Structure 1
Amino acid sequence: AKEVSENGNATAEEVKTATDALNAAIKAKETQDASDKKAASLDALKAVQAQGNAIDEADYTPNSYAPLKDALTAAQNIIDNPED
């Protein structure tokens, strides 16, 4: 795209081809960035879930442990179905 933009004699077809290629590259980069961000978020969720799973339920009252249990269940649902 840079070469075409610097070429004062570039044809309309060359400009269109370069533009299409650049737009495709940008789209691919955005898709990869989103995928990388999602993977990093899932990794972070798994790490926090492991910490939560390490907490001994017997050390807490049912009322105080219930929110953690609900959060761990929600985390597992996300991990099992990340597309949802």
Structure 2
Amino acid sequence: MSDALPDRLCSSPDSKFYDEAILSKGIGVRLNGEERTNVEEYCVSEGWARLAVGRTLDRRGRPMTIKVSGKIEVWVKGDGEKA
């Protein structure tokens, strides 16, 4: 597998952008220079991320999210380098 991370990734198994192999390695996400731990989905090329809002759930049991725009940086946490 190449070291390149996908442009878009989602943590929900129902999404077509879900990739368990990549998520199991541990992905770090920085939004506008601040490392975030509550990212549910991101898209680097479009410059947005969906962030979980507290512990609230929607009617299907998934976390409620808000869409935030800005500069997105992602990396594999074990490497210590940004991708």
Give the TM-score of the pair, scaled to structure 2.
0.18
Report the structure number with the largest CA radius of gyration: 1
**RCO higher in structure (CA 8 A, sep ≥6):** 2
Give the TM-score of the pair, scaled to structure 1.
0.18
**Greater fraction strand:** 2
